[in-house]
Amino acid sequence: MNKKVLITSRSFGKIDHTPYDILAEAGYEVTNIGASFDQAAFEAIIPDYDALIIGAHEFPQETMERCKRLRIICKHGVGLDNIHLEKARELGIAVCNTPGTNSNAVADLTFGLMLSAARNIQRSSLNVLKNVAQSVIGVDVCYKTLGLLGFGAVAKCVARRAKGFGMSVLTYDPYVTEIPAEFAGYVTLCTFAEVLSGCDYLSVHMPLTEETHNMIGKSELASMKEGSILVNTARGGIVDEKALYDALVSGHIAAAAMDVVEHEPVTADHPLLTLDNVIITPHVGMYSREAINAVGVICAQNAAAFALGKPLQHRVV
C-alpha cells in the first residue's frame, strides 16, 4: 500500500511544483485540502494518512490519538504552538519544522509594518482612496531605539535591518547569554523591563507558550515610553489585546502593527479594527515567493526522508 500524505497548508507548492515532485518521487499519494480547509473534514480523514504537512490550524490531541498510521508531522512554517508535542512524542510521531527559511521574509514584513505605523502610510493611503486631502504627521524611525523580545533568527534579521537605519537595539531573550560578535556595538542584551522602558519601537519575536501568553499586558504597556509603537509578527496571544486596545485609545501607545492576533482569522467586530492607529495583516509574514518555496521544499524533503528511512531535518520530536 502506498504511503499517503495530507497537506493542509494553503500555500504549499504555490510557487513551483518542486515540493510535489519530491513527494511523488518518494512514492506518496498526495491529498491537499489547504485551499478549502475545514477543521471537521481534516479531523475525519487524517487517521487514514501516514504523513501530514500542516498549516496553522489546531490538531487536537484526541484526534492525534486516532491516527494509528500517522508517523510524521511536518510544520509548514516555524511555530509549533498548534501541535501537541508531548502527545506526538507519546505516540511515536516525529515532528519537524522549518526554522530559518522564512526569517528574511518575516523581518521584511516587520520593518514594513514598523515604517507604516511610524509614518502613517496606511492611513495616508486610505485618505487618498477616499479623496480626503489630509496630511498625517508621523515620526522618524532612523536613529531611534528598537526593542526586540527574543533574539532568534527573525529578530537577528530585524536587527540587521535596524543597523541600516542607524538604530540602537535592545533585546531580551531568556535563552541568550551573549550577543554574537556580528551585532557588537549596536545590540545590547537587557532585562525584559529594560527593553520595555528603553525602546521607541517594540517588536515581538518569541514563541507562544504558557510562559509568554499575555506577557505584554497592562503594566508592561504602561512601562513603555509614551508614544512608542508596538509591532508583533510572532504570535497572537503574547500581547493582551484588551490591554493594548486601552493603551492605544489613551494614546500612551501611539500605534500598533500586527501580523497576528490571538484568534485567527480576525473577526470584523474585533475592537482593534475600530482604531485608525492599528494595522493588522492576515498572518502573511512568510508570504514571500522565496520563503514559501523554501518551506515547502523542506517539508516535502522530510516527508520523503521518512518514507525512505533517511534522517530528518529540523526534527523537534
Instruction: Name the amino acid, one letter, at 156.
Output: K
pLDDT band at residue 8, thresholds of 50, 70 and 90?
very high
Q: pLDDT digit string (tens) for 77-130?
A: 998 999 999 999 999 999 999 998 999 999 999 999 999 999 999 999 999 999
What is the pLDDT at residue 204? Answer: 98
What is the pLDDT at residue 2? Answer: 84
Given the candidates 3.40.50.720, 3.30.565.10, 3.40.50.2300, 3.65.10.10, the CATH classification of the domain at 103-280 is: 3.40.50.720
Instruction: Provide the percentage of residues in the chain whose pLDDT is more than 70.
Output: 100
Q: How many residues does the chain have?
A: 317
Kindly tell me if the per-residue pLDDT of 133 is higher than 90: no
Q: Spell out where the chain has E strands.
A: 4-7, 29-32, 51-54, 72-75, 94-96, 145-149, 168-172, 187-189, 201-204, 228-232, 253-258, 278-280
Q: pLDDT digit string (tens) for 63-76?
A: 999 999 999 999 99
Instruction: Provide the percentage of residues in the chain whose pLDDT is more than 90.
Output: 98
What is the pLDDT at residue 34? Answer: 96
Can you tell me which residue has the cell 486516532? Answer: 66
pLDDT band at residue 27, thresholds of 50, 70 and 90?
very high
Q: pLDDT digit string (tens) for 238-276?
A: 999 999 999 999 999 999 999 999 999 999 999 999 999
Q: Spell out where 23-136 has E strands.
A: 29-32, 51-54, 72-75, 94-96
In words, the CATH class of domain 4-101+288-308 is alpha beta
Q: pLDDT digit string (tens) for 199-215?
A: 999 999 999 999 999 99
Q: Annotated active-site positions, please?
A: 235, 264, 283
Angle at CA 182, nearest 5°, toward 178 and 183?
65
pLDDT band at residue 1, thresholds of 50, 70 and 90?
low
Residue 144 DSSP class:
-
pLDDT band at residue 134, thresholds of 50, 70 and 90?
confident
Residues ≥6 apart with Cβ < 8 Å to 156: 103, 180, 183
Dig out the grid coordinates for 143 from the structure. 536613529
Report how far apart, in Å, the C-alpha atoms of 14 and of each of 79, 168, 235 are.
20, 38, 24
Please state at what angle helix 153-164 crosses helix 103-119, rounded to 10 degrees.
50
**Extents of the domains making up the chain:** 4-101+288-308, 103-280
What residues form DSSP beta bridges with 145? 168
Task: Judge whether 4-101+288-308 and 103-280 match in fold.
Answer: yes
Residue 264 DSSP class:
S
Which is nearest to 171 in space by CA: 136, 203, 140? Answer: 203
